[in-house]
Amino acid sequence: MSRKKPDRMSDISFTLMSFVFKVMDLFHSPVKKIDSFGISEGMTIVDYGCGPGRYIERASKLVGPNGKVYAADVQELAAEAIKKKMTQLGLTNVEPVVITGYSCPIESHTADMIYALDMFHMVKNPTELLKELHRIVKQDGFLIIDDGHQPRETTKSKILASGVWKITEEHKKHLKCLPV
């Protein structure tokens, strides 16, 4: 009998979520959202909780050939979806990463920016997650995180309780945080 990994949805749920995102993206392009994050040429960024990779193509183009995008998720199916997108779209600066629990195999102080979208509400131990993101980001880097399906005050409370991030900007759709 296998145990479910923490914060990991079933493969069936992941497949259904991927389908729902495809339909949503027909009506509301995710490009506009990611364009507001301050991604620039040459950056190393992490799409944490990348899912099926709805932001990967745009992120890859924004960082350019001298930048890098890590597409990180706890779902093995996410890594497969990212590899497929890399092949189909010719994305040579993207690397899929499978996360185990809250341990991400990306080296410490690697990322100029991490974005974590539509996933924070599902995290069972937000402090542990936020500490891991803090480990990955450079000291002068930043985190973009949205509420997902929870109230803004809950998101802010979880971030501040971690003790490793400070909220520096609050936007309608996301928060920008700097490492403490």
Q: Tell me, yes or no, whether 102 lies in a domain.
A: yes
Q: Tell me, yes or no, whether 1 lies in a domain.
A: no
Res 19: pLDDT: 62
Query: What pLDDT, in 10s, does the model give residues 125-160?
Result: 999 999 999 999 999 999 999 998 899 999 999 999
Q: What is the pTM of this model?
A: 0.86
Q: Tell me, yes or no, whether 42 lies in a domain.
A: yes
Question: How do 137-145 and 175-179 pair as beta strands?
Answer: antiparallel
Sheet holding 165-170, edge to edge: 94-98, 68-73, 44-48, 111-116, 137-145, 175-179, 165-170
Report residue 13's pLDDT band, with 50, 70 and 90 as the boundaries.
confident
Q: Tell me, yes or no, whether 112 lies in a domain.
A: yes
What is the span of the domain harbouring residue 18?
Answer: 11-179
Query: What pLDDT, in 10s, does the model give residues 39-83?
Result: 999 999 999 999 999 999 999 999 999 999 999 999 999 999 999
Residue 36 belongs to domain with CATH number: 3.40.50.150
Q: Tell me, yes or no, whether 5 lies in a domain.
A: no
Integer Cα distance of 117 and 170 in angstroms: 15
Q: Tell me, yes or no, whether 3 lies in a domain.
A: no
User: Which two tokens mark 118?
Assistant: 């539509």
Q: Tell me, yes or no, whether 82 lies in a domain.
A: yes
Beta strands in 86-136 (DSSP E): 94-98, 111-116
Number of structural domains, the chain? 1
Q: Tell me, yes or no, whether 17 lies in a domain.
A: yes
Integer Cα distance of 97 and 59 in angstroms: 16
